[in-house]
Amino acid sequence: MYYNEEFETLPRPALEALQLKRLKTMLERVYSNVPFYKEKFASLGIRPESVKSLEDLRSLPFTVKQDMRDAYPYGLFSSRMEEIVRIHASSGTTGKPTVVGYTKKDIETWSELMARSFVSAGVHRGDIIHNSYGYGLFTGGLGAHYGAEKLGASVIPMSGGNTKRQILIMKDFGSTVLTCTPSYSLFLAEAARDEGLDFRSLSLRVGIFGAEPWSESMRREIEEKLNISAIDIYGLSEIMGPGVAIECQEAKCGLHVWEDHFIPEIINPETCEPVPEGEKGELVITTITKEGIPLVRYRTRDITSISYEPCPCGRTHARIARMSGRSDDMLIIRGVNVFPSQIESILMRIEGVEPHYLLIVDRKGNLDTLEVQVEVDERLFSDEVKHLQEMAHCIEKEIKDLLSLTCKVRLVEPKTITRSEGKAKRVVDNRPKA
Amino acid sequence: MKVEQISIFIENKSGRLAEITRILGEAGVNIRALSLADTSDFGILRLIVNDRETAKQVLKERGFTVSKTAVVAIEVPDRPGGLSEILQTLDNESINVEYMYAFVERCGENAVIIFRFDETEKAIEILTAKGFNVLEGERLYQM
C-alpha cells in the first residue's frame, strides 16, 4: 500500500533525475535568499550552476547546528516572513532554541510525507490515531497530526502526559494506532496493567515510535506486550520533523528516506568523507523542496548506515538503519534532546561558578531517568540542610523549565566525579544499548 | 562570645563518619560535641573540636568540604523549664533557631547547648542582657 505510488516507487534513474533538478532549484533559492549560503559558496568559489550532477553535492559545504544558532532566530530562512505560516523550535545547546519556519507548501509537503509514513506503517483511512507526541514547539505532535488528517484518518490530539487519561481514552475511543516514543508505549502498557487493563485487549493495531533510539529487542517486547505491529520513524525539526524516514510494514528492515524531498549521505564524522554503502557513519541530509528553511548538507550527528537494495515493499527510496548513536554528546532522554552544555549553563547561572557535575542516565522500568550529580565544594556548601536542599530543587526546576524534563539532583562530595586527563567525564549512560 | 563550629558535607554512604572520626583521631583532634543532620541523599556533620585549624586542615587534605560556622554556646539550668526560658526569650525577639544540639560536658551544675541562630550577634546581645551565660569559645574548646 502506498499513499503516493508514483513518487514512492519512482525508478531510481527517474528519482535521481528529479533529485538533481530539485537540488539545483534549491541551490539557486538559498544562493539568492540566504546571505549565509551566498557568502559560504562564494568563499569556496562555488556557484549554484557549478552543481551539474548529484556527485557534485559533495563539493558543497556542510551546515551544522551552530550555523543555525549563529543565525538565530530567522537568519537561515529563505522565505519572507509573509510566506511563513508556522514556526517550530527545538531546545538549543546552550539555551537559545534552534528555530525553523514553514511555508504553506512546506506544511503541505510535511503532511504528505507523514501521510506516506502512516501508510507505510500500515495505517489507513478509518484508523483512529492516538497521538501522544507533544504538541507545541516540538515538531512531533503537530507533524503527526497534520499527516493523520491528510491521510483522512481520525486523529486524537492527546499530546504527552496524564497517563491515566491516555489509557481511558485509548480504551473508550477505540484507538487503533498509537504514536509516541517507544519507551512511553511500554510505560503506558505497564500503567494500564496496574489498573487491571491488558493492553492486548484494546483495539490497537499499529504503533509508530520515534524521537529516541530503540532496539530490535525493544520492538519485540512492545509487539508482545501491546499486541501491535511496531514501526520505527525518524525525523528532526531542522530537516522537517517526524516523517523524514520510516520503516515499511512489509520489511521492517531499515527506514525509507523520502528521497524525492531529501538527499541523504553517510559520511565519516572525522574525515567528512563519504563512507561506502552499508558502512556506519553520520547521516547528512540536504532538503531539496523546502522553502522556509532549506538546508544544504545538514549534519544530523545521528549515526546510521544506508542501503540502496530493492525493498520487498516496492518503494525505491533508500533505507537507513536504525540510529545507533550520535557523533556529538547529545543525549536523548524520554524523547527530549539534551546536551550536557545545557545543564552546565544552568549550573553556571545558579551558582555563578562552574561546578563539577555528572549526568547519569538510566532506565527504570521503561522510562529513562536523569540524575544530575553536583559536587559540593566550599563555594556551594552551607551548614544548613535547607540551603542545600533549596539549591538542589532550584537546579531541578531550572532544568525542568528549560528542557521539560524531570530530573533528580544529587549533591555529592568533592572529587567523587572522576576526572580523566584534566577533563571531567560528564555523562554516564547506563541504559541498555540500542 | 561566638564559638566556631566546623561543618562537613558528607554523602549518605557507609563508612563516611568512620572515615572522618579516624582522620581526626589520627591528627590528635578531640571532638567535644557533634550533631548530624541528614537527608536521604546527604548529611551535614557539625563538630565542636579542641583544635579547629588542625581539624579543618586534615579534613580538607582528605578531600572533604569543610566550613567554619559561628554558633553560640549557652549554659542552660539543669532543671525542668530551663531550656524553655531561653527559647521563649528568643522567640519574643523573633530570633530563629536554625539548629541546636547538646554539649557533652556540663559546666558546673548546668548543661551546655550549642545554638545556630539566624541572627547570631543579636541573639548574643539579648541573651546576655537577660542574664543567660553565653560561653566563650576558648573556654568551651578546652572543657
Residue pair A177/A205 in contact (Cβ under 8 Å)? The answer is yes
- Contact assignment for A411 to B7 by CB distance below 8 Å: no
- Contact assignment for B66 to A411 by CB distance below 8 Å: no
Distance CA A161, CA A17 (A): 45
Q: What is the mean pLDDT of the segment spanning A98-108?
A: 97
Give the nearest chain A residue to B5 (CA atoms).
A383
pLDDT band at A430 (very low <50, low <70, confident <90, very high): very high
Least confident window among A148-152, A206-210, A320-324, A343-347: A343-347
Q: What is the mean pLDDT of the segment spanning A8-25?
A: 98
pLDDT band at A269 (very low <50, low <70, confident <90, very high): very high
The alpha-carbon gap from A360 to the nearest alpha carbon of chain B, in Å, equals 15
From chain A, the residues in CB contact with B65 under 8 A are 376-378, 381, 413-414
From chain A, the residues in CB contact with B12 under 8 A are none
- Contact assignment for B64 to A378 by CB distance below 8 Å: no
pLDDT at B105: 78
Could you tell me which residues come within 8 angstroms of residue B36 by beta carbon, excluding any fewer than 6 positions away?
A: B17, B43, B44, B45, B46
Residues 361-420 of A with CB under 8 A from B: 376-378, 381-385, 388-389, 410-416
Q: Looking at the predicted structure, is the pLDDT value of residue A154 above 80?
A: yes
Q: What is the mean pLDDT of the segment spanning A383-399?
A: 92
The alpha-carbon gap from B60 to the nearest alpha carbon of chain A, in Å, equals 10
From chain B, the residues in CB contact with A413 under 8 A are 9-11, 63-65
**pLDDT > 90: what percent of chain A?**
77
Give the nearest chain B residue to A412 (CA atoms).
B11
Q: Which helix (H) or strand (E) holds A89?
A: strand A84-90
pLDDT at A419: 64
Nearest to A383 among B10, B41, B67 (CB): B67
Cα dihedral across residues A261, A267, A273, A274: positive or negative: negative
Distance CA A375, CA A115 (A): 49
Least confident window among A112-116, A342-346, B66-70, B80-84: A342-346
Q: Which domains does chain A have, with CATH numbers?
A: 5-328 (3.40.50.12780), 333-429 (3.30.300.30)
Q: Which long-range contacts (CB under 8 A, 24 or more apart) does A44-51 make?
A: A48/A24, A49/A24, A51/A23, A51/A24, A51/A27
Write down the H helix ranges in A195-319: 216-226
Interval A60-89: pLDDT, tens: 999 999 999 999 999 999 999 999 999 999
Q: Which domains does chain B have, with CATH numbers?
A: 3-69 (3.30.2130.10), 70-141 (3.30.2130.10)
The alpha-carbon gap from B87 to the nearest alpha carbon of chain A, in Å, equals 20
Give the nearest chain B residue to A375 (CA atoms).
B65
Cell of A188: 503506558
- Contact assignment for B11 to A383 by CB distance below 8 Å: no
The alpha-carbon gap from B109 to the nearest alpha carbon of chain A, in Å, equals 30
Q: Looking at the predicted structure, is the pLDDT value of residue A96 above 80?
A: no
CB atoms within 10 A of CB A28: 14
Single-letter amino acid code for the residue at B142: Q
From chain A, the residues in CB contact with B5 under 8 A are 383
pLDDT at A49: 93
Could you tell me which residues come within 8 angstroms of residue B19 by beta carbon, excluding any fewer than 6 positions away?
A: B62
Q: Looking at the predicted structure, is the pLDDT value of residue A421 above 60?
A: no
pLDDT band at A103 (very low <50, low <70, confident <90, very high): very high
pLDDT at A352: 63
Q: Which long-range contacts (CB under 8 A, 24 or more apart) does A267-276 make?
A: A267/A299, A269/A299, A269/A301, A269/A303, A269/A327, A272/A62, A274/A58, A275/A305
E strands of A139-190, at which residues?
Answer: 154-157, 177-180
The alpha-carbon gap from A384 to the nearest alpha carbon of chain B, in Å, equals 7
Interval B71-100: pLDDT, tens: 999 999 888 998 999 999 999 999 999 999
Q: Looking at the predicted structure, is the pLDDT value of residue A268 above 70?
A: yes
Least confident window among A97-101, A288-292, A362-366, A406-410: A362-366
Which of A372, A376, A383, A389 is best to mutate for the B interface (most B CBs within 10 A)?
A: A383
Cell of A127: 484508523
From chain B, the residues in CB contact with A410 under 8 A are 41
Average pLDDT, chain A: 92
CB atoms within 10 A of CB A24: 16
Distances (CA, A) of A383 to A60, A317, B6, B119: 59, 63, 9, 15
- Contact assignment for B64 to A414 by CB distance below 8 Å: yes
Q: For residue B86, give the nearest of B128, B121, B46, B48 by alpha carbon.
A: B128
Top mean-pLDDT range of A90-99, A408-417, A421-430, B80-89:
B80-89
Interval B97-141: pLDDT, tens: 999 999 877 778 889 999 999 999 999 999 999 999 999 888 888
Could you tell me which residues come within 8 angstroms of residue A252 by beta carbon, excluding any fewer than 6 positions away?
A: A219, A231, A232
pLDDT at A346: 86
Interval A294-333: pLDDT, tens: 999 999 999 999 999 999 999 999 999 998 888 888 899 9
**Which pTM was predicted?**
0.78
From chain B, the residues in CB contact with A388 under 8 A are 9, 42, 44
pLDDT at A81: 97
pLDDT band at A353 (very low <50, low <70, confident <90, very high): low
Q: For residue A9, give the nearest of A287, A258, A247, A253 by alpha carbon.
A: A258
Could you tell me which residues come within 8 angstroms of residue B5 by beta carbon, excluding any fewer than 6 positions away?
A: A383, B46, B47, B48, B68, B69, B70, B71, B114, B116
pLDDT band at A92 (very low <50, low <70, confident <90, very high): low
Q: Looking at the predicted structure, is the pLDDT value of residue A424 above 70?
A: no
Q: For residue A372, give the nearest of A359, A356, A361 by alpha carbon.
A: A359
Residue pair A195/A171 in contact (Cβ under 8 Å)? The answer is no
Q: Looking at the predicted structure, is the pLDDT value of residue A6 above 80?
A: yes
Cα dihedral across residues A255, A256, A262, A264: positive or negative: positive
Nearest to A377 among B41, B42, B65 (CB): B65
Interval A18-51: pLDDT, tens: 999 999 999 999 999 999 999 999 999 999 999 9
Distance CA A35, CA A42 (A): 10
From chain A, the residues in CB contact with B37 under 8 A are 385
